[in-house]
A and B are shown apart, each in its own frame.
Chain A
Amino acid sequence: MLFEFLIYRRTGVFDYTTFRTLGCAVTVRDALNQAMDEELERDERVFLMGEEVAQYDGAYKVSRGLWKKYGDKRIIDTPISEMGFAGIAVGSAMAGLRPICEFMTFNFSMQAIDQVINSAAKTYYMSAGLQSVPIVFRGPNGASAGVAAQHSQCFAAWYAHCPGLKVVSPWNSEDARGLLKAAIRDDNPVVFLENELMYGVPFEMSEESNSKDFVIPIGKAKIERQGTHVTLVSHSRYVGHCLDAAAVLAKEGIECEVINLRTIRPMDVDTIEGSVMKTNHLVTVEGGWPQFGVGAEICAKIMEGPAFNYLDAPVTRVTGVDIPMPYAKILEDNSVPQIKDIIFSVKKTLNV
Chain B
Amino acid sequence: QGFFFSSVFESCAGAAVVMSARTYANFTNEATFEIKKSDIFKLDEGPATQVVMTRDEGLQYYRTMQTMRRMELKADQLYKQKIIRGFCHLYDGQEACAVGIEASINLSDHLITAYRAHGYTYTRGGTVKEIMAELTGRRSGIAKGKGGSMHMYCKNFYGGNGIVGAQVPLGAGVALACKYQGNNELCVCLYGDGAANQGQIFETYNMAALWKLPLIFICENNRYGMGTSVERAAASTDYFKRGEFIPGLRVDGMDVLCVREATKFAADHCRSGKGPILMELQTYRYHGHSMSDPGVSYRTREEIQEVRSKSDPISLLKDRMLSNNMASVEELKEIDVEVRKEIEDASQFATTDPEPPLEELCNHIFHNNPPLEVRGTNPWSKLKSVS
Interface set of A (CB-CB < 8 Å, partner B)? 47, 73, 76, 78-79, 81, 83-97, 114-115, 118-119, 123-132, 134, 163-164, 166, 187-188, 266, 304-305
Contact = CB atoms under 8 A, between A and B. Distances in A.
B173 A89 contact: yes
Interface residues of B, number: 49
Most buried by B among A83, A95, A131, A305: A95
Contacts of A96: 177, 181
B158 A163 contact: no
B174 A84 contact: no
A105 B105 CA distance: 40
10 contacts: A73-B180, A84-B206, A90-B169, A91-B158, A92-B173, A92-B174, A95-B173, A115-B170, A124-B364, A128-B146
A116 to B, nearest CB: 11
A219 to B, nearest CB: 8
B155 to A, nearest CB: 9
Interface in B155-196: 158-159, 161-163, 166, 168-178, 180-181, 187
B367 A94 contact: no
B293 interface: no
Contact of A91 (B163, B172, B181, B210): B172
B207 A85 contact: yes
Contacts of A47: 180
A42 B387 CA distance: 25
Contacts of B176: 88, 91-92, 97
A79 B177 contact: no
Given A87-B204, A114-B166, A132 B180 contact: no
Contacts of B158: 91, 94-95, 131
A100 B110 CA distance: 22
B159 A127 contact: yes
Contacts of B197: none
B181 A188 contact: no
Given A88-B172, A126-B151, A128-B146, A119 B180 contact: no
B365 interface: yes
B147 A126 contact: yes
B46 to A, nearest CB: 28
A94 B170 contact: yes
A92 B146 contact: no
A45 to B, nearest CB: 8
Given A94-B174, A119-B161, A130-B153, 13 more contacts: A83-B199, A87-B169, A87-B170, A88-B173, A90-B170, A95-B178, A114-B166, A125-B146, A127-B146, A129-B144, A131-B153, A134-B367, A164-B365
